[in-house]
Structure 1
Amino acid sequence: MTVRVILVAPAIGSGLRAARFGDDGPPDDAALSAARAAAGALPVATRSFTAPSPRCRRTAEALGLAPGSAAAPADLDVGDWRGRRLDDVAATDPAAVAAWLADPAAAPHGGESVTALCARVGGWLDDLAGQPGRVVAVVEPAVVRAAVVGALGLPPAVFWRLDVRPLSVTELSGRAGRWNLRCGQDLTSP
């Protein structure tokens, strides 16, 4: 039996625009309007999930999704860098940022490493693989990247090379321990 996992990146908010670590504020009004306009573009799902951030929950609501009681994986935990802009952290501690971007096992911020995020998201995918049907989950871009890395067995260093646009869809279909990828569908374009 096949499970199809449709990962939807949330609408953009000011935190994402400012490249602010762990800023889980709500999406912009214009971005929510785009999500409402795309509400009918997603296929019907047997199960739906949303990550715990306000940006993901508000995007799911705008898309007309009614997520179940279980949550999708949360964003990468960036520890002490939470709420800070990438440029500011790079200006005060360039060696830590360089190590974090070069080594997926590094977590100089005291939070979660990219490797740990990939393992956490991979475990969630493994749980979903045992239940056939179509799943829709609104999750942060880092979770989409981690899911692709884990599902395809890519080296974690590839994580930073994957670009996930707001309100885009990444679809993973899997069975018997094997996943296939369909990426990059934009919900806001015809």
Structure 2
Amino acid sequence: MTVRVMLISPGMNAALREARFAGDAPLDDSGLRPARAAAAAGSVPVADQWLRGPSRRCHATAEAMGLLPDTERALRDWEMGRWSGTRLSEVSADEPDGVAAWLADPAAAPHGGESLLELCARVGGWLDSLHGGGPGRVLAVVEPAVIRAAVVHALALPPLAFWRLDVAPLTVTELSGRAGRWNLRCGRLLVPEERVR
């Protein structure tokens, strides 16, 4: 059976604007307004199963879109250890060698959290588990790092391709496939920007 996985990135928040390793930063009004507009416009895709990452930002985005998804721990954000909550510029100034290793070596985790390889394996394991004859359409509100890891896994990309993928707030990335062969449709806006104002 073909599985269709629709991954929605949560709305904007201050941590994203500040290039901060988010930790569990909440959604703000600049993220709530377009999420509510997507719900009002009927732009939220139909699914058989609704999930979300455990972050407050994913929870608030799903709620603003009128969804009541189950929390899926496998879809949690990238665990950044001691870097959590700090700005990339601060970490780069304090630990330039650690940041360089993190960006160049997918097995490195100088922050004490997950390596890129571990993130991709966790998210990939969840994605692969969907081929067991479960729901045909799965919608999940998840952090951008989770979406990027899913794309890397699904398309069997080299891990460092992760750094070349951008995921904008409130976009849908769709993976559809059967028996581990996935096709990608990425970056569809949930609501046109002019309808958010």
> Of the candidates 85, 93, 110, which is equivalent to residue 108 of structure 1?
110
Q: State the alpha-carbon separation in 2 of the partners of residues 150 and 79 from structure 1.
A: 23
> Of the candidates 184, 188, 192, which is equivalent to residue 185 of structure 1?
188
> In structure 2, do the counterparts of structure 1 residues 64 and 106 end up closer, same or farther at CA, with 3 Å as the change threshold?
same
Cross-structure match for 2:128? 126
1:64: Cα distance to partner? 1.2
TM-score (norm 2): 0.93
Deviations 1:4-56 (A, max 9, x none): 00000000111111111133221111320110100121221100001000000
Conserved in 1, the CA contact under 8 Å of 2:106 and 2:117?
A: yes
Q: Which runs of 4+ in 1 moved over 6 A?
A: none
1:189: Cα distance to partner? 1.2
Aligned: 1:170 with 2:170: no
Deviations 1:93-147 (A, max 9, x none): 1111011011111100111001100000000001122224111000000000000
Question: Any residues of structure 2 matched to 1:84-99 within 5 Å, and which?
Answer: 84-99=86-101
Amino acid paired to 1:14: A
Cross-structure match for 1:2? 2
> In structure 2, do the counterparts of structure 1 residues 70 and 121 end up closer, same or farther at CA, with 3 Å as the change threshold?
closer
Q: State the alpha-carbon separation in 2 of the partners of residues 71 and 182 from structure 1.
A: 24
SS of the residue aligned with 1:129? Answer: coil
Question: Any residues of structure 2 matched to 1:128-167 within 5 Å, and which?
Answer: 128-130=130-132, 131-167=134-170
Q: Percent identity?
A: 64
Amino acid paired to 2:58: C
Unaligned runs of 5+ in 2: none
Cross-structure match for 1:73? 75
Q: State the alpha-carbon separation in 2 of the partners of residues 62 and 86 from structure 1.
A: 29
Cross-structure match for 1:44? 46
> In structure 2, do the counterparts of structure 1 residues 58 and 98 end up closer, same or farther at CA, with 3 Å as the change threshold?
same
Amino acid paired to 1:111: G
Conserved in 2, the CA contact under 8 Å of 1:22 and 1:77?
A: no
Conserved in 1, the CA contact under 8 Å of 2:12 and 2:30?
A: no
Q: State the alpha-carbon separation in 2 of the partners of residues 128 and 176 from structure 1.
A: 9
Conserved in 2, the CA contact under 8 Å of 1:15 and 1:24?
A: no
SS of the residue aligned with 1:38? Answer: helix
> In structure 2, do the counterparts of structure 1 residues 181 and 97 end up closer, same or farther at CA, with 3 Å as the change threshold?
same
Cross-structure match for 2:16? 16
Aligned residues: 190
